[in-house]
Amino acid sequence: MQRIQFEVPEERLTELERLMDSAKIRTKKELLNNALTFFEWALDEVRKGHSIASVDEKSGKYREIMMPVFRNIAGTSPISTNGGATTAKSGRPDMVKSF
């Protein structure tokens, strides 16, 4: 087993801890495993030409998440068997597009 260490700004650590609390995730390892599972699925879907979005089933509207990494891998082969972002005033990528 390998150990991973990295530095994050204090505000991002606070955000991670808030997310962990709201999802009832007890360890950063559990958080990372969940995040990697979701990210791997998302990459496979984008490689298949699919969008990653949340859908409001009542209205039929959806919000697509846009991440530079999705544009980088679009159209490549899936990694498992089973768009570009614009910058918001905050300096963080605006990663959601509504339809």
**Block means of pLDDT (10 residues each) for the chain, length 99 residues?**
93 96 96 95 92 94 90 69 38 53
Whether 4 is in a domain gets the answer no
Task: Work out how many domains the chain is built from and give that number.
Answer: 1
Residue 33 included in any domain? yes
Range of the domain at 94: 10-98
Question: Residue 85 has what pLDDT?
Answer: 38
**What whole-number distance in Å separates Cα of residue 60 and Cα of residue 57?**
5
Is residue 59 a part of any domain in this protein? yes
| Coil/strand/helix, residue 97 | strand
Q: Which two tokens stand for residue 31?
A: 């958080």
pLDDT at residue 20, rounded to an integer: 97
pLDDT value at position 98?
61
Residue 56 carries which side chain, given as an amino acid letter?
Answer: D
pLDDT of residue 71: 85
Tracing tokens 């990653």 back to the chain, one arrives at 52
The answer to whether 65 and 53 are in contact (CB under 8 A) is yes
